[in-house]
Amino acid sequence: MDDRNSQRRIDLQKIIISESDKKILSEYSENQKPNESCAILFGKNDTVSDLFLTENIEESPVNFTISNEQLIEGYKMAEEKNLDVVGIFHSHPDSDAFPSNTDKKFMQSNPVVWIIYSGINKNFRAFILESDIIEIPIE
């Protein structure tokens, strides 16, 4: 266990996303109401440079699932663009932009940055999962 290294990694972590990409994601989320919306975020390191708006196959206001087909398609698109999957986006139409218990569970199997948009206060917040949920800055 090396606490020093993990601490350093956390300190450095942030996510950079453009205002225009945030606008696309917030508009997409508003359009998908009352259900949660979701997207795969492509980029390099801590910078988002491309979006893949995906379908929430659960059609639920409190959960989301991206189909395996779209996940595979997303990873293929990233490879073609020579980018990485740097984040997963979803919306909370009726709650704050904080990971739910279900989100926490899925964050364990998808260790990328999770960006959540709140339909209530129109806030974007970003999180990673270390031993617990850690909020990281969006720039």
Residues at the contact surface with Zn ion, assessed by CB under 5 A: 100, 103
Please identify, using beta-carbon distances, which residue of 100 and 123 lies nearer to Zn ion. 100
CA-closest candidate to residue 28, choices 62, 58, 55, 64: 55
| The residue to which tokens 């997303």 are assigned | 74
Select 84 or 104, whichever has its Cβ closest to Zn ion.
Answer: 104
Q: Whole-number minimum distance, CB 88 to Zn ion, in Å?
A: 10
CB of 8 to Zn ion, least distance (A): 28
Nearest position to Zn ion, beta carbon: 103
**Of 27, 36, 59, 139, which one is the catalytic site residue?**
36
Nearer to Zn ion, 80 or 132 (CB): 132
Output b/e per residue, 1-32; b: 16+ Cβ within 10 A: eeeeeeeeeeeeeebebeeebbeebbebbeeb
Is 73 designated active site?
no
| Minimum gap (Å) between residue 63 Cβ and Zn ion | 7
Instruction: Report the distance separating Cα 115 and Cα 85, nearest Å.
Output: 13
Active centre residues (catalytic):
36
